[in-house]
Amino acid sequence: MALLAEYSSQELLQAELQLWHQSLGFFKSAALAIALDLRIADAVHRLGGAATLPQILAEAGISPCRLRDMRRVMRVLTVSGIFIVQHPDEAAAAAAAESRHDAAVYKLTAASRLLVRDKSSTATGQLPHFLTVQLLLGPVRDSPVSMGMRKWFRQQGDQQQPGLSPFAMAYGGQTVWERAEHDAAAFRFNDAMAADTAFLMPIVLRECAEVFRGLTSLVDVAGGLGGAAATIAAAFPDLKCTVLDLPQVVAKAPSGTDVHYVAGDMFESIPPANAVFLKWILHDWRDDECVKILKNCKQAISPRDAGGKIIIIDMVVGSGPSDDIKHAETQVLYDLLIMNINGVERDEQEWKKIFFEAGFKDYKIIPVLGVRSVIELYP
């Protein structure tokens, strides 16, 4: 990559952070539009100005099945200062790890107080301030993505279609992958993923090539046309690299390369190898789906004492400098983007949960890729 000769890895990752942060600004407005549409501030106000998320959902009439997703919206709104969140102390969190998020208390700020619609919020005859915010949010609220998200949150149990995402609601029932296949010229999803691989993989090899050293074989799961595998193979000529992807993807794979291609489905089985590589894959899937993928990975790899491991490139929310608000905002805003396709950006505890459910014993997080990390997962 020519840019690596001109800039350091950290300069390039900081540049990526700047562009992502600005591009994802839409989702800061989308989170506010969701809160305004669902009257979250009103619910907190009626509950005395401070409440847990289960209490807020019950008060606002939101389906309990949206608890985790509403927590993600509130995370954006607390990072950006619209609400304040107070987490339980460490002792309480340790005693009830599963419910630690649900015990968090959300409080109104001056900003969220302006969103409250009850008559006591304004002087007699005065129009409420939320109308100004509603007007300013108009271009965002009227976009297909924002309308899909708000409709998705308003659904009740008897209206929900299993697996239907906000993205599908916005685009006539199509998944993101179906739209990428049927409308590739206008929606260049696959090209964008290939461009991301071309940008990131040289940085991965410069900053943490040691994760690949000593391996004899590697399967890049859902590796597309093999950009990542080809980069790894070029850096480690003795490493046999294989790409597993769906038949329609493998049919388009280039010939005459050092990469071997296998048509298959990661939810069914994965070819045996020393290690499995998952770049930017697991965040697309729900926890139960990730556990299924990882169990298949575990069956495919060597034992740990023979070098067997999973190499994951994904986001670990909360990793990075604690005082870098741009970094923190970008991670939680990207989480709202990925929520649109029923994906999840996970914090360390959420990763740990699915790792251990899949039968793995240990892991190591290497936070050297800006808002993303390398995770080594061991059987």
Which residues are tagged catalytic?
283
Cα(150)–Cα(146) distance, rounded to whole angstroms? Answer: 6
**Three-state SS letters, the chain:** CCHHHHCCHHHHHHHHHHHHHHHCHHHHHHHHHHHHHHCHHHHHHHCCCEEEHHHHHHHHCCCHHHHHHHHHHHHHHHHCCCEEEECCCHHHHHHCHHHCCCCCEEEECHHHHCCCCCHHHCCCCCCCCHHHHHHHCHHHHCCHHHHHHHHHHHCCHHHCCCCCCHHHHHCCCCCHHHHHHHCCCCCCHHHHHHHHHHHHHHHHHHHHHHHCCCCCEEEEECCCCCHHHHHHHHHCCCCEEEEEECHHHHCCCCCCCCEEEEECCCCCCCCCECEEEEECCHHHCCHHHHHHHHHHHHHHECCHHHCCEEEEEEEEECCCCCCCHHHHHHHHHHHHHHHCCCCCCEEHHHHHHHHHHCCCCEEEEEEEECCEEEEEEEC
Do the beta carbons of residue 221 and residue 270 sit within 8 Å? yes
Provide the token pair at 325: 């608000």
